[in-house]
């Protein structure tokens, strides 16, 4: 069981020990009943003041709950930002094609400037490829 799951189980036990309905708890803790429901199910991590208030109502140990809460925070923080994955192979192919196009364009520019005699004037277009006269 993960730390957030253990914390949620502890919060459910505190709710049972308090003997209050979800609506009554929400009025005592000053948090909506839908938020409390997410905290009890483990879908969301409650702020520490909510955990402390639930501990007061259900007779929980603040020290143990604080340790669980901090561990759950660390675990959620790590799972929210996983290690970056390697780029897909197709993306690497696109990067390679882009690099090849850039290199060939640079090579063409370099040749045109290095050998200025290789210009359009030196090698005119065939008559059928010439633009129409205006």
Tokens of 102: 């850039």
Q: Are 8 and 41 in contact (CB under 8 A)?
A: yes
Low pLDDT (below 70) residues in the chain: 80-94, 109-130, 134
pLDDT the model gives residue 113? 65
Instruction: Report the number of distinct structural domains present in the chain.
Output: 2
Same domain, 68 and 12: yes
Query: Is this model's pTM higher than 0.85 or not?
Result: no
Asked if residue 134 belongs to a domain, the reply is no
- Residue that has been written with the tokens 């901090």 in this structure: 70
Residues 35 and 93 in one domain: no
Are 99 and 43 found together in one domain?
no
| Containing structural domain, residue 121 | 89-129
Q: How far apart are CA 34 and CA 26, in angstroms?
A: 9
As a whole number of Å, the CA-based R_g of the chain is 34
Q: Give residue 118's pLDDT.
A: 58
- Structure-block tokens of residue 103: 């290199």
**pLDDT value, residue 2:** 85
Predicted confidence at residue 84, as pLDDT, reads 57
């Amino acid at each position: 069981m993960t730390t957030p799951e253990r914390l949620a189980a502890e919060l459910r036990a505190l709710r049972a020990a308090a003997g209050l309905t979800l609506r009554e708890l929400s009025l005592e803790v000053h948090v909506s009943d839908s938020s409390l429901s997410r905290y009890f199910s483990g879908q969301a991590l409650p702020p520490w003041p909510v955990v402390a208030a639930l501990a007061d109502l259900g007779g929980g140990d603040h020290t143990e709950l604080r340790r669980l809460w901090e561990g759950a925070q660390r675990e959620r923080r790590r799972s929210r930002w996983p290690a970056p994955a390697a780029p897909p192979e197709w993306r690497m192919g696109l990067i390679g094609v882009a690099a090849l196009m850039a290199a060939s364009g640079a090579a063409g520019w370099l040749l045109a400037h290095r050998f200025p005699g290789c210009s359009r004037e030196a090698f005119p277009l065939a008559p059928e490829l010439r633009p129409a006269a205006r």
